[in-house]
Structure 1
């Protein structure tokens, strides 16, 4: 079967990485894809969210596993990758063996960042890791997306312009804005595509991002 492997990764925590990974994985499952979400973060948040989803009997079900160790992630991914159409890896929050392993094995890394100076500086660190990974995985595509973006103001534009300083990354002009509906959905193991009441703006932003990735 063997499909696309996408890592949602960041060096800095608090950038909405897990929420974004959940939304991408569920969106693909809703589109009829056979999806595996690998939680490679020691905090185990994505796995917990999907356990809540499973307990609620929500469909489609999403296969998940927790591999925070790089060696274990590498072994399991190589062994099982052919069973799924899409594999989404939630990795990072820090420089870890799991993040490094994921970068070497992925087709695409999506780097979320907030419109804050510390977040933009952290992009430099993961850009360096991406360059290292390309020595072993030269086809690795790397996209940066503004996540938890401000509803208005110049900070979003300033942050996007700063990412242009890192040629290892391509900036996607598909910002995901900070919305209560997104956080509430993720807390219940849901995508904003499933949440009620519907947040049409959040749904449009996610769909635009998905079209850019896939």
Structure 2
């Protein structure tokens, strides 16, 4: 399965989700490829810290790929891995479009902020163009990320996402918890650190179980 983290607004936490999904999938023993298609290289930095923390045994393979050729390169590498996770930047770029064309699943984290919600119409327009160019439909999941612990903004953003069927809203929010940057600074996922924040671990498990189970069903039905 190929998962692409997508979106056209910076700061939504795509890299954090990509890193956590990669490690979460790898902990079962699966062979995982993480593709850093973001010019900022956040996933690469995370992996470098992880290599230092874990004495070189990061548990997955990392490559950096930018541009239209990403699609062909990922297609070539696909048979070698159980899953591929692609982290893209926060703009409508050639790299992101190539990653969406080759993906089976698009994951779209959205911050519950007005500026992020305002980008949804442009995002759905881009996804519509991608869907029209594919032989098989792209499975899309959107969800709240970096959400407030309790806030009316969460509810309003969730309602906006739910109203757009093409965004496949998932009602499992990832909250804005210190556990994520604290773990990330060491190249670790929240479920790997000593004395983990169980609320953070539970919300990551709930989101990824929903996404991976739903993706498996979609593939089977196809």
2:19 is aligned with 1:26: no
The equivalent residue for 1:120 is: 117
- Whether 1:46 aligns to 2:43 is yes
TM-score (norm 2): 0.91
- Please list the CA deviations of residues 84-115 of structure 1 after superposition, one character each: whole Å capped at 9, or x if unmatched: 00100001311110100011110100100111
Q: What does 1:49-198 correspond to in 2, within 5 Å? A: 49-56=46-53, 57=55, 59-71=57-69, 73-137=70-134, 138-198=136-196
Partners of 1:47 and 1:59 in 2: CA distance: 15
TM-score normalized by structure 1? 0.94
Q: Is the 8 A contact 1:113 1:123 kept in 2?
A: no
Q: In the alignment, what sits opposite 2:208?
A: 210
User: Contact between 1:151 and 1:177, CA under 8 Å: does it hold in 2?
Assistant: yes
Q: Deviations over 1:154-199 (max 9, x none)?
A: 1101001011343321100000000011111122211111012211
1:197, 1:55 → 2: CA distance? 20
- Cα deviation, 1:116-138, whole Å, max 9, x if unaligned, reads 01111122222211111111223
The answer for the alignment partner of 1:201 in structure 2 is 199
Higher strand fraction (1 or 2): 1
Q: Which runs of 5+ in 2 are unaligned?
A: 213-222
Contact 2:40 2:89 in 1 (8 A): no
Tell me if structure 1 keeps the 8 A contact 2:34–2:61.
yes
Distance in 2 of aligned mates of 1:173 and 1:24: 17
Q: What residue ranges of structure 1 are gaps of 5+ in the alignment?
A: none
The answer to whether the 8 A contact 2:172-2:206 is kept is: yes
Give the root-mean-square deviation of aligned CA atoms. 1.2
Q: Are the counterparts in 1 of residues 51 and 58 from structure 2 also a CA contact under 8 Å?
A: no
SS at match of 1:171: coil
Deviation of the 1:75 alpha carbon: 2.1
CA drift at 1:59:
4.1
How many Å apart are 1:24 and its aligned residue?
0.5
Q: How many residues align?
A: 210
Assess, with a 3 A threshold, how the Cα gap between structure 1 residues 123 and 195 changes in structure 2: closer, same or farther. Answer: farther
